[in-house]
Amino acid sequence: MALVETTDHDARVRELRLNDPDRRNAMSTALGDALRTAAAQCIADEVRVVVLTGAGTAFCAGADLPELFGDTEQPQPQMRERLTEYYRAFLDVYELPMPTIAAVNGPAVGAGLNLALACDMRVAGHDATFGATFARIGLHPGGGCTWFLVQQMGYARAVQTLLRGETLDASRAVADGIADGPHRNPLEHALTIADEIASAEPPLAAQIKSTARLAASGANFAAVLDAETAAQAASTRSERLRSWVDRFRR
């Protein structure tokens, strides 16, 4: 059984499905390795949009706690190195050049929340939950969770959510700007969005993603404007733009 199943919805949109439903897709090292392999294959195959979801009743129920934290006597430098390697699976998704959409079906808890936040967009089902539960179990957030949540919710709301170890239901997540929805069928809605945005040429989509992230990172207006101008100048060579220009010449 493949721990990450792939389904191509035409040549442009690829669905990656975490496939360990008996364990609610808990992020083991093996599942993380499979996700990294699948992400790399998306680049190799020049996929235009990636949709990430979970098999069964959960998106991802978090880290495999016994596997990751079972050795409480492990020296901290070694644990830090291990965590850095563990979180590469999430960062590989975050660093994909094409747009990514998380179709959140059921709980996305802890590491599962990180994985959803690593995607560019999140579509929530009615039963989706987003659990920033690290502090509740005595654990500091990891995998970029603090950065992701501050980006989505703002500092004060993110800190409160993290310190309280809150779990947000779908409606709350939508209100806080984390997700779109809630939708009866999040995967179906995510695939509809993916099909629409897959029409953008890959270099253009990658540039829009990069510039939007620059703006979200807190870069000043001049820096974002400069990046936009450079990217727009590059995009003027596209065949689609030339066809539109020709229409107005007639």
Question: Could you report the per-residue pLDDT of 149-184, keeping only the tens digit for each?
Answer: 999 999 999 999 999 999 999 999 999 999 999 999
**Could you tell me which of 104, 167, 101, 111 has the C-alpha nearest to residue 143?**
111
How far is 164 from 154, CA to CA, in rounded Å? 16
Tokens of residue 235, six digits: 């995009």
Whole-model pTM above 0.85?
Answer: yes
User: In angstroms, rounded to a whole number, what is the distance separating the alpha carbons of residues 54 and 68?
Assistant: 21
Q: Say how far apart CA 203 and CA 97 lie, in whole Å.
A: 9
The class level of CATH for 4-197 reads alpha beta
* Dist. CA 158–CA 237, nearest whole Å: 42
* pLDDT at site 66: 85
- In the block, residue with structure tokens 């035409």: 10
What the block records as the tokens of 238 is 């596209």
Nearest to 53 by CA among 20, 88, 91: 20
Q: Cβ distance 13 to 51 under 8 Å?
A: yes
What pLDDT is attached to residue 37?
98
pLDDT of the chain, 250 residues: tens digit per residue = 899 999 999 879 999 999 999 999 999 999 999 999 999 999 999 999 999 999 999 999 998 888 887 777 788 888 889 888 999 999 999 999 999 999 999 999 999 999 999 999 999 999 999 999 999 999 999 999 999 999 999 999 999 999 999 999 999 999 999 999 999 999 999 999 999 999 999 999 999 999 999 999 888 999 999 999 999 988 888 888 888 877 887 6
pLDDT of residue 103: 98
The confidence score (pLDDT) of residue 59 equals: 98
pLDDT at site 69: 79
CA neighbor of 203 nearest in space, from 80, 86, 99? 99
How far, in Å, CA of 138 to CA of 172, rounded? 24
**Predicted pLDDT of residue 241:** 80
Strands 107-109 and 129-131, by their bridges, are parallel
